[in-house]
Amino acid sequence: MSSEQPSRLANIALLDGLGNEHKGRLEKRCRWRRYAAGVQILDKNSVDRDVYFVTEGAVQVVNYSMTGREIALARLTAGGYFGELSAIDGRPRSANVVALEDCLLGSLSPRLFIDQIINHPELAVKVLGRLAGIVRNCDERIMDLSTLGAVERVYRQLLRLAEESPVNPGSWIIRSLPTHKAIAAMASTTRETVARSLSQLVSGGIVERKGRILYLRDRDRLEKLAGALDNALEDDVAR
């Protein structure tokens, strides 16, 4: 049995098709750094072009409005990566990246990242899929901002965060509910709106909170509320 330690890149989904030996070589060519929760990792318009692999912890990709409101674009946990846009087109960063939790990141130079794509077509397909997902998410977000009220956006964000319970199939939970500030950034609204929206759902028996876990007790009703007008939302929850 080999005593060789697994590569720190072993959990990176993008690199799943590469062998352990190849991942080990890439690991050695990465620059490694730990970031404490709350630390800004990248600044928008930075000249940094590296691709970052999240091997521990979680980060959030954010932008800020003209009034300073934080707008969350993506949340990445261990196994994810970011920075590919600047590595591909050579342009400045399009957003800021902040550590949500203490994390360990490995950064790979843009030249080495492009080399991997050229030499491993399966990686190129995965990157294309990721870019297509970014476009789709942007389209969806534009539609939400154009057609939904703030409360509706909060409800829809909760639906996006929910996953089916592995213990009780057919029921839905949010394992680690983000802070009101984080949800507000995802839904492009205020912490006060998030707090009020969650309070309405709890009082209406639609969700139940236990610590940082949120149980969706009536997902069907939440889905209906997420498509209603703000006034109808408040009236329905109040009944």
The string of pLDDT tens digits covering residues 131-161 is: 999 899 888 888 888 888 999 999 999 999 9
**Number of helical (H) and strand (E) elements in the chain, helices listed first:** 9, 12
Amino acid (1-letter code) at residue 222 = L
Contact criterion met (CB below 8 Å) for 77 and 58:
yes
- Could you read off the pLDDT of 216-235 as tens digits, one per residue? 999 999 999 988 544 444 44
For 95-104, b where at least 16 C-beta lie within 10 A, e where not — what string?
Answer: bbbbbbbebe
Q: Average pLDDT of 81-109?
A: 95
pLDDT at residue 198 tops 70? yes
| Greater pLDDT, 4 or 151 | 151
| Greater pLDDT, 95 or 238 | 95
Output the CA–CA distances (angstroms, integers) from residue 26 to 19, 95, 107, in the order listed.
Answer: 11, 26, 10
Contact criterion met (CB below 8 Å) for 235 and 224:
no
Q: Rounded CA gap, 179 and 175, in Å?
A: 13
Contact criterion met (CB below 8 Å) for 86 and 33:
no
- For residue 127, the model assigns a pLDDT of 96
Any idea what the Cα angle at residue 131 is, between residues 40 and 52, rounded to 5°? 35
Mean pLDDT (the chain, rounded): 89
- Could you read off the pLDDT of 28-76 as tens digits, one per residue? 999 999 999 999 999 998 989 999 999 999 999 998 877 777 888 888 9
Contact criterion met (CB below 8 Å) for 207 and 216:
yes
pTM of the model: 0.72
